[in-house]
Amino acid sequence: MEQRASASLWEWANPVKFLRLSGWLLPWVSWGAAICLAVGLVWGFFFTPDDFRQGSTVKIIYLHVPAALMAINIWIMMLAASLVWVIRRHHVSALAAKAAAPIGVVMTLIALITGAFWGQPMWGTWWAWDPRLTSFLILFLFYLGYVALWEAIENPDTAADLTAVLCLVGSVFALLSRYAVLFWNQGLHQGASLSLDAEENVHDVFYLPLLVCIAGFVLLFVALLLLRTRTEIRARRLKALMARERMA
């Protein structure tokens, strides 16, 4: 039974089946992302009170926290897809990792910029070499390096192999970005806004719209990932057809 389930799972690594499934999922995920983002952002920015200490600045949380979470988890997703490529040599997984990287770049950049705007009135500076901020900046540089490495290597299989190694190294900084405040207590960055410990979470008036925004960011990533992976598959097919024509 387990072997059959495993076999059916790997069937979706077939590009034709992936295109069929993603084509069906894409409209649903896109509409879900649009609804969650619209509800979450409008709720958060216009129907929540100002914080007694941070004022209206606290509302940056609805962009900063979801973007930061996605930046970290997108890299972890890329690592998982790269490991699938290394172990199983499924091209869809390598192309999915490649497709996810530019989305991760944008999410990391949003987190860095919104963090600067949030931190300036709280800390009196746009940037501090805080452990979490520094590790996040390094993660951003790894994202840029990952994208550049794919573009620099002509052979796609070789590029997938080398970027998988880069993913493995960069995952260290992805984890540091998430847990740096637990390792170094001297950082300026506050603790986690979302935690299994109810006392560490933000108040429910901010917490509930934040969850909706996070759901919207997750669905937006999935929609963009499906769209970009479909594009990568078709681009790979086009290159193969053009190569055959040149040889004919």
Contact 233, 92 (CB under 8 A): yes
pLDDT at 103 over 50: yes
Contact 99, 229 (CB under 8 A): yes
Give the pLDDT confidence of 126-184 residue by residue, as tens digits. Answer: 777 777 788 888 889 999 999 999 999 988 899 999 999 999 888 877 776 666 555 55
Report the amino acid identity of residue 230.
R
- Please give the average per-residue pLDDT across 197-204, as a whole number: 53
Distance CA 137, CA 134 (A): 5
Give the pLDDT confidence of 2-33 residue by residue, as tens digits. Answer: 455 454 556 656 788 889 999 999 999 999 99
Using a 10 angstrom Cβ sphere, with 0-12 exposed, 13-18 middle and 19 or more buried, the burial of residue 51 is: middle
pLDDT class for 63, splitting at 50, 70, 90?
A: very high
By mean pLDDT, which of 99-103, 187-191, 221-225 is the weakest? 187-191
C-alpha 29: how far from chain center: 16
Using a 10 angstrom Cβ sphere, with 0-12 exposed, 13-18 middle and 19 or more buried, the burial of residue 66 is: buried
CA distances 187 to 128, 133, 174, Å, are: 9, 9, 17
- Helix runs in the chain, H state only: 2-11, 15-46, 61-88, 91-123, 131-152, 156-183, 204-247
Contact 5, 80 (CB under 8 A): no
pLDDT at 198 over 50: no
Quote the mean pLDDT of the chain: 83
Q: What is the pLDDT of residue 133?
A: 81
pLDDT at 1 over 50: no
Distance CA 240, CA 134 (A): 42
Higher pLDDT, 188 or 223: 223
* CA proximity to 168, closest of 76, 70, 91, 103: 76
Tokens found for residue 140: 């951003």
Strand-pair partners of 51: 55
Give pTM, 2 decimals: 0.86
DSSP result, 164-230: HHHHHHHHHHHHHHHHHHHH-TT-SS---SS-SSTTTSPPHHHHHHHHHHHHHHHHHHHHHHHHHHH
Q: What is the pLDDT of residue 27?
A: 96
